[in-house]
Amino acid sequence: MNLAAAPSVEARIAAGAHGFSYRSGVLAAEEVPLAEIAAAVATPLYCYATAGLLGQYQALRDAFAGRAVQICYALKANDNLAVVRTFAAAGAGADIVSVGELHRALAAGVPPGRIVFSGVGKTTAEMATALAAGIHQFNVESLPELETLAAVAGAAGTRAPVVIRINPDVDAGTHDKIATGRKQDKFGVDWTAAPAIFARAAALASIDLVGIAVHIGSQLTSLAPYTAAFGRVAEMVRTLRGQGIRIDRLDLGGGLGVRYSDETPLAPAAYARLIAATVGELGCALTIEPGRFLVANSGVLLTRVILVKESAGRRFVIVDAGMNDLIRPALYGAHHTILPVVAPRQDAVWTPADVVGPVCESGDIFARDRPLPPVAADDLLVLLSAGAYSSVMASRYNSRPPAPDVQVHGRAFAVTRRRLSHAEMLAAETLPPWLGPESRP
């Protein structure tokens, strides 16, 4: 495969990255060459472009111009404090799924009144903490959860603001592991049985039932699943109101897909028009919960080539990032475009390579048979579209410190989540008395 017959590296960046571009033949985040960041921080590392983050947020905001819609950023996509603060400062709320994310959202400056608490397994301690914080609403996903929350709120002498998440049994047509709106998925209340649960919620003195929630999955690139799901939400609103149950809010979840390889993402304007057409005339306050859409293409994983190994006719490009840093390819078979930081010569011949990490697992593969130009030890590569479900899912497997996070703003950059030293990783553990005194460097 010759570069002349394929999209240029510049075209690939323009198609799948926000805030990144080649400047004088070297890839930069906004105005900072990635090689400069690598020299200062060391690889592997995650890098986020503020301009890309805010550009995506503004595109969504503009799509709903003239309509009151609260955008609550889904922290599960990327919970870095600087990323969350970037959106909070622009006016976003937060969609959280744990008390840990609640603490992060508050620490990042998200007002409690703009926080929604989703998730199927909230503990009583988490409920009590969120109630005391004064969050906007709980997205309740089952009758047992509703009864537990009612007891917690009653014991605290308060009322919990609740929307009940329905499961509309709609196949989002996305990856099986990120689909959430089918009847076999663990999320939400079966929409056919939901009216009885809404009636129960309305009867509980410590529950302030205010609306309906729905979320059918992530990485959606078609309007059809949204049309089906939102249609069922509208039907449910009318049914419940006919029974005298007040419904003032709709939380429509998130799920907007992004480009990883050759996908055609939904235009925010088309998504906004669909919402207006399906539920816009119901007189409800609207909330949406984007995550991936806001951050995925505004982040990259920067890694350095350790060595190139030729074996049995295969070219293995072994890099210093591993599946402990980015598990998506191993977990989902996810595609991440891989490009050199220094643009190759126009006449460079691109040949297949397996890009792999140093982790002791055969699954530690970022790409198989991926066309790449000639690369050598110490060269820098980037994996694009690494802003979502990447750093946030990192582990310490093989006792490897997870890659740090760096955020860029114009010509400035800062480490926003530092790399732990091996001593710091060891300091979190203790030996039991029967194994004798500890011995550490």
CA–centroid distance for 130 within its chain: 22
- The alpha carbon dihedral of 263, 322, 403, 341 has a sign of negative
Residue with tokens 């959430």: 180
Three-class SS state of 331: helix
What is d(CA 293, CA 289) in angstroms, rounded to the nearest whole number? 10
**End-to-end CA separation in angstroms for the chain:** 50
For the record, the structure tokens of 393 come out as: 């899912």
Instruction: Judge whether 72 counts as a catalytic residue.
Output: no
Residues facing 200 on adjacent strands: none
For the record, the structure tokens of 183 come out as: 């009847």
Q: What is the DSSP letter of 101?
A: H
What is d(CA 191, CA 167) in angstroms, rounded to the nearest whole number? 5
By C-alpha distance, which of 241, 160, 240, 245 is closest to 205? 160
What is d(CA 245, CA 387) in angstroms, rounded to the nearest whole number? 41
Task: Catalogue the active-site residues.
Answer: 360
